[in-house]
Amino acid sequence: MSEIDQKPYAAPPAEAPVSHTGFVARIRNYFLTGLVVTGPVAVTVYLVWSFISWVDGVVRPFVPPSYRPETYLPGPIPGTGLVIAFVVLTLLGFLTANLVGRSLVELGERLLNRMPVVRPIYNTMKQLFEALFSKTGSSFRQVGLVEFPAPGMWSLVFLSQPPSGHLAERLPAGEHVSAFMPCTPNPTTGFFFYVRRKDVITLDISVENAMTLLISAGMVQPEGEAQKKLAALANAARAAQAAKQPASAN
């Protein structure tokens, strides 16, 4: 028998099974990347389109049919109502700035103030709109931190004007400021209170960045000096806690 016949038979190597894990992972990453890219754009477009459609629906009934673009075109032009509302509000503001317009506004306010049910609603809405949109208003201009709901726990607050008149006289001694603490992730609800200014740590971040931080529940962190202040505050709290431990042990 030859040497070739004496060698044992060697089976061919088995082929490695094809793994689909890498392919599925790549598809998932591509999908998530596309979702991150298109999601904010889609939500923004939807909200803007909804607002434009809402304004068009409110303004269109007040425009005579002969002046509507859809009367002469195949279909309505989106945003026409928004443009008309902008022009009308601008003209009203221009007329109100004059003596005649101011006199008419004062006459209307006197009439509304004589109505028992309408008066508080109108005055509240007027103060709210002046605070939000007037240049001299007292809308939220500053962001701060207060120690709440327990020692060592800090919450974001929006600061506005200090109390005046009877409220300032009834509060304890010291300078106070109005504070609004919004809830997460819905910042339209929260707590309003007066707090001593010395108990508030002011932050160098805008109201918009603070809103983003609240709505995202801390997933989107601010950059710059505010982040440094937050880190310094956390370090100070840890140092105070470490200093208390030896004292409690003794």
According to the model, what pLDDT value does residue 90 have? 86
If you average pLDDT over residues 26-48, what whole number do you get?
Answer: 86
Q: What secondary structure, in 3-state letters, does 96-157 show?
A: HHCHHHHHHHHHHHHHHHCCCCHHHHHHHHHHHHHHHHCCCCCCCCEEEEEECCCCCCEEEE
Nearest to 176 by CA among 148, 196, 201, 152: 196
58-105 pLDDT per residue, tens: 888 888 888 888 788 887 788 888 888 888 888 888 877 777 677 877
CA angle 46, 51, 52 (to 5 degrees): 100
Q: Report the mean per-residue pLDDT for the chain.
A: 76
Calculate the CA 87 to chain-centre distance. Answer: 28
Mapped onto helix, strand or coil, the DSSP state of residue 195 is strand
According to the model, what pLDDT value does residue 11 have? 54
More confident residue, 164 or 159: 159
pLDDT band at 226 (very low <50, low <70, confident <90, very high): low
Using the predicted structure, report yes or no on whether residue 158 has a pLDDT greater than 80.
Answer: yes
- DSSP of 5-25, one letter per residue? HHSPP-PPPPPPPPP-HHHHH
Q: Where are the beta strands (DSSP E) in 169-249?
A: 176-182, 190-196, 201-203
Using the predicted structure, report yes or no on whether residue 148 has a pLDDT greater than 70.
Answer: yes
Nearest to 48 by CA among 79, 14, 13: 79
According to the model, what pLDDT value does residue 238 have? 66
According to the model, what pLDDT value does residue 32 have? 85
Using the predicted structure, report yes or no on whether residue 7 has a pLDDT greater than 60.
Answer: no
According to the model, what pLDDT value does residue 162 have? 79
Q: Where are the beta strands (DSSP E) in 188-245?
A: 190-196, 201-203
118-137 pLDDT per residue, tens: 888 887 777 767 666 655 55
If you average pLDDT over residues 227-242, what whole number do you get?
Answer: 65
Domains of the chain by residue range: 29-123, 142-225+232-249
Tokens of 219: 């997933």
According to the model, what pLDDT value does residue 13 have? 55
According to the model, what pLDDT value does residue 188 have? 75
According to the model, what pLDDT value does residue 135 have? 56
The pTM (predicted TM-score) of the whole model is 0.55
Using the predicted structure, report yes or no on whether residue 138 has a pLDDT greater than 60.
Answer: no
